[in-house]
Amino acid sequence: MDKERLIFLHHCEALTWYQIKTILEVDTNLIEIFSMDIRRLMISFCLSEQTAKRLYDHMNQKKSTYIMKSLMKHSISAITIFDDDYPHHLKTIYDPPWVLYGKGDWSTLNQDKMISVVGTRNPSKQGKQALQKILEPLVKNNWVVISGLAKGIDTFAHELCVLNQSKTAAVLGSGILQIYPKVNKELANQISLQGIVLSEFSPNVTPKRWHFPLRNRIISGLSKATLVAEARTKSGSLITADQALEQGRDVFAIPGSILEECANGTNFLIQNGAKLVITADDIVNEGF
C-alpha cells in the first residue's frame, strides 16, 4: 500500500468510510483508480454518479505532492491504518479511521495507562470537583487522558493534564487547522507540545454536526476504558459510552445528585451496568 496515495484519496470529502473500504478491496494498491473515468468509477466501486464525479474531479484537479507539502508546512503528520505506529487499541474497533492526522507525539496513543474522558459541556461545580478528585491521581501517575477538546468536561480534563505536565490527547470533530471551539485554540497548541491533537478529517475540514459521533468512536476506541463525568440522558457522552460498550471497552461513571439534570445520564449508566467510580483506585483496581 502506497501511503501517499491513500492520504490523497482520503482528502476527497465525498467518500465515506465504507466507500474507501470498497475501493481498497477492489484496488488494493490504489493504482487502477487513478486512470478511471467517471463511468468506470461508478461501476468498479458502486458509487453514485455524483460521488464518482466528485472523486474524479478530486483526482484530476489536485496533486498528492501538494497535499503532502501542505501537511509538512503546517507540521502535521499523517499515519494510515497500515502503518506500524497506528494506535493499536484503535485498530481493533469495527471501523477504524483509514488515516489520522496529528500534531504532536504519536507515542502518546500507545501507552499502557490510558483513559478516555467525556462529559457535559456545562458541568456543575461539584461535577468538576468530582472529576478532579478521580482524575488528578491518575494524571500524576502518568496516565494519558483522551478527550474531545469540547467546552466543559473535555476542556477541564485536558487543562488538568496540562497543569500537571502530563500527556493528553485531543480528538477533534474538525480538521487540525480548523480548531473547534475556537476558544480552545491555545489549549490545542499546549496539548500538541506535551501530547497530541489528532483528527480523522483532513486539516482544512470545518466542523459539522455529523462529525462528532464519528469523533466519539475514536475517543472511546483509543483506550480500554471510558470515564463519563456529568452527562444528560440525551447527550454525546452517552453515545460515546454506547460506542465504548460496542467496542468491548469498560465504561466508568461518576455518580451525581438526583437533583441535577446533568447527572441523569451518568446515574442512568450506573443503573445499567457501568462501574460506579468514587476514587481513582476504582479504576486502577480494575487492572488498567
Residue 86 in domain: no
Residues 119 and 259 both lie in one domain: yes
Residues 187 and 225 both lie in one domain: yes
Residues 174 and 32 both lie in one domain: no
Residues 196 and 53 both lie in one domain: no
Residue range 194-202: average pLDDT?
97
Residue 231 in domain: yes
Domain that holds residue 9: 3-73
Number of domain units in the chain: 2
Of 87, 282, 243, 254, nearest in space to 157 by CA: 254
pTM of the full structure: 0.94
Residues 162 and 38 both lie in one domain: no
Residue 260 in domain: yes
Give the number of other CB atoms < 10 A from CB of residue 105: 15
pLDDT score at 258: 80
Confidence of residue 263 (pLDDT cuts 50, 70, 90): confident
Cis link prior to 181 (omega < 30° from 0)?
yes
Summarised one tens digit per residue, pLDDT across range 55-112 is 999 988 867 788 999 999 999 999 999 999 999 999 999 999 999 999 999 999 999 9
pLDDT score at 1: 63
